[in-house]
Each structure stands twice: as C-alpha cells, then as structure tokens.
Amino acid sequence: MSKFHITGGVRLSGETVINGAKNAVLPILAATVMNGNFNIIKDCPNLKDVRTMLQILDAIGCDTRFEGNTITVNSKPLDTYTIPENLVSEMRSSIFLLGPMLSRCGRVVLSYPGGCEIGPRPIDLHLKVLKSLGVSINESHGFLECRAENLKGCTIQLDFPSVGATENAMLASVEADGITRIKNAAKEPEIVDLQNFLNAMGARISGAGTSEIYIEGKRKLKEVEYSIIPDRIFAGTILAAVAGTGGEVLLKNVISEHLSIVLSKFIEAGCSIKEEKNEIYFKASKKLNAVETIKTLPYPGFPTDMQSQFLSLMTIAKGTSIITETIFESRFKIVDELSKMGSKVKVDGRTAIITGVDQLTGARVFAKDLRGGAALVIAGLAAKGETIVENVCHIDRGYDKLDVCMNNLGGKIIRED
C-alpha cells in the first residue's frame, strides 16, 4: 500500500500549472463511445480513475491511447454492451457509461458502481432519468440491465440538481427522438464542458450552466478534438496547502470564476488574491483567521469536494469555524485522523465545529477517501515533524502526482510504494 512521508513546516512558494479537470474528463471519455469515430481529448490528467475509464473503453471494444496529456479514443464497432464488473467496482464514475451506451447500442449491463465511501450516493435519479426517456431497467443480483428500443425526448424534472444525473440525461438525450428539457439541472462548470464537447461532436445542446438544459436529439455525430477545462478542485487544493504553510503561489491555466466562492473564503481567512486572465496570484497571511461559516451546496455554492481541505486548514486558524456538509453525510471521516495530529474538532451530525490550534503535530494517518486524503496532505505540510499518510491510492484517483506538485513548490514529500 502506497504512503506519503511528509516533513512539515516548510513554506510553499512558486508557480504551478493546473491540469484538466477529473470531474470533466470522465463523462467526456464516456461520451466518446457515442460517435463510433475518432476522438482526441487534450489536457487530460493522468489519474487512476482516468486509466480505469480507459480500461473500460478498451474492454468494450474501443482503441485507446494515452500519450502525454492527450487521449485518443477510436470508438469503432463495439464488441459488447456489458461493462466489466471488476472495473465498475473500482470507480463510481463508470455510471456515466449508461447514457452513452444506451445512445450507441440501445442496451447496457453493468454492476452497481464503487468509489469513495463518503456516504450513500444512490443512483435512483440516474435511473429515473433514463426511464423517463423510455429505457426499461431490470435490477437483479447487484446488476443493472438497461434496454432502449427507441429513446424519446421528454421533459425531465430533477428532484435534486445532481451532477451525474444531469450528465447522464444529456448523454442519453443526444440520440433521443425529439426535444428533451432537463429542469432543475446541475450548473457546475463540468456540465458546461460536457455540453461543449457534445456540441463539438455535432449535438445541439444549450442552457448548460443554468437550471434548464435543452437538447435537440438525433443529430449526426462526427469525430472531435477537444481540450478539457482546468480542474478547479485541484487548484483549490493547492491554494489550501499554500495557505496552510503561509506561502505564496502563482496558479496558471485556471478559471477564477469557477472558484469564486472558494476564493472568497480564502480572503475571509486573511489571504490576498490577485486575479488575471487564466492566472491567480495567491499569498497567505502569516496566521489564518477562522472562517465563521461554510456550508456546502451545489454550484455556485461552496463545493463539497473542497470541504475536507478547508476543514483541515481551519484546524490551525485563529478562532472557531463551523462547517456544514449538505451533500454527503460521511464527509467528516477525516476528523478522527486530524485528531491524531492535535486538532480540536467536534462533529454534530452534518456540522463540524473547529477550534483552531497553534500548530498540528505530525502523526501516522490513513486516507479514507479522495478529498480527505488530500486534506491530510495539507495538514502534514503544515504540521511540525513527520506525517505519514497511508492508503494514498485514494489520492491518486483524483490528483495527478500531488506529491510531485507540492515538492515543486518546496514541499518535502517522499512516496513509498
């Protein structure tokens, strides 16, 4: 099991280039099966989840190649409509294959997806969306078998602005007869990126980034070349690490608009920020101020994927911070690990009350999920002494060489495989 040995107390400084977004590239890679053609995807992060998605595409008959930060996918005639169970169990994002496979083959079989243990993440909304488009679904023995003789456009009213359900609705609707309207749609930048990719492929979609998305189905799809948007969560994680060490950094290839609420919380904590076109200059205060309240919400609210990192940061801020998690009920697993480092955090249901301490102390901690693992790295960089973060395979699922990036900014992290 891989682990990080972190020597804390070193001020991070320098510049770094933000790579393509994990949460954008996965549904876009799934979408490549739809055109039965050649696809070139640029600015792709080299992540475990990305490699798993490519294994899935290869297993169903695609030809994939990953060179540098460019992925090519030739989605020629597919060999099967069954997604391998062992690969689905590794990654929740395999659920994104539902819409594209139904669009392409009219049929798909897969097991319930795996991923991080951050609480129940039912796929009921995904299935409800597909049923409204005319898909019949048989659930038995942990498997889903979905069939669609003829997808038909309709109005889809989402009970909650789920990112995944919105994306699956878009993917399935591209090949549906007629018009599809998705109401109460998720507004995340990754939704806009998927719309732009599908439109580049020949689809006709509008409204992404708003609460209503409009899709005209049955468009002829063609080969496509596309670049992924920068990863706003990776950018926010770097800023949190720099803030925790009292450092400064220049982020390049970043869209500051995607980070507006996160940047506002850094400013509240006493950091200074200067935004330029595709760049952010960030300088931490010598002692962070507590952020009075943070509440995770769907975009443009504070992202749940940045909650653990901010919780970690607030353990060394002056004062008391209150963080409320509204998206996933088990996002506070990191608290037990941070307590080993001397933090003072009390959890009451979905609310964490953090009383800042002068300094954390290095300890042996265990990454239980992706973002929590990154938050432990942040804590280790800020702490006195050595911190060992175990089970970093979770971190590798969402960060392309996080240790190397931190070391390039002056951090001291040694990976032990």
For residue range 238-275, what is the model confidence (pLDDT) as tens digits? Answer: 999 999 999 999 999 999 999 999 999 999 999 999 99
How many Å separate Cα 351 from the centre of its chain?
22
* Residue type, position 45, single letter: P
The overall longest dimension of the chain from CA atoms, in Å, is 63
Q: What is the pTM of this model?
A: 0.94
Pick the catalytic residue from 62, 116, 146, 154.
Answer: 116
CA 339, 345, 349, 350 dihedral sign is negative
Instruction: Tell me what pLDDT residue 118 has.
Output: 41
Instruction: Tell me what pLDDT residue 120 has.
Output: 42
Q: Bridge partners of 139? A: 144
Instruction: Tell me what pLDDT residue 117 has.
Output: 46
Instruction: Tell me what pLDDT residue 114 has.
Output: 55
* Residue type, position 189, single letter: P
Contacts of 199 (CB under 8 A, 6+ apart): 205
Mean pLDDT, consecutive 10-residue stretches, the chain (417 aa), reads 95 97 96 96 95 95 97 94 87 87 93 55 82 92 88 95 94 96 98 98 98 95 97 98 98 97 98 96 96 96 97 98 90 94 96 97 96 97 98 93 97 96
Instruction: Supply 232's token pair.
Output: 């706003």
The helix-helix angle for 189-201 and 22-31 (nearest 10°) equals 30
Instruction: Tell me what pLDDT residue 330 has.
Output: 74
Q: How far apart are CA 143 and CA 156, in angstroms?
A: 25
3-state secondary structure 180-218: EEEECCCCCHHHHHHHHHHHHHCCEEECECECEEEEECC
pLDDT tens, position by position, 83-110: 998 888 877 788 899 999 999 999 999 8
- The stretches of 84-123 forming alpha helices (DSSP H) are 85-88, 98-105
Q: Is 44 a catalytic residue?
A: no
Domain parsing of the chain, residue ranges = 3-19+230-416, 22-227
Q: Is 162 left (phi over 0), alpha (psi -120 to 50) or beta?
A: beta
- Beta strands 179-183; 38-42: pairing state: unpaired
* Residue type, position 371, single letter: R
If residue 41 lies in a helix (H) or strand (E), which one and from where to where? strand 38-42
CATH of 22-227, one of 3.20.20.210, 3.40.50.720, 3.65.10.10, 3.30.360.10: 3.65.10.10
Do the domains at 3-19+230-416 and 22-227 have one common CATH topology? yes
CATH of 3-19+230-416, one of 3.40.1000.10, 3.40.50.300, 3.65.10.10, 1.10.10.10: 3.65.10.10
User: What is the Rg, in whole angstroms, of the alpha carbon atoms belonging to the chain?
Assistant: 21
What DSSP character marks residue 288? Answer: P
Instruction: Supply 396's token pair.
Output: 């590798």
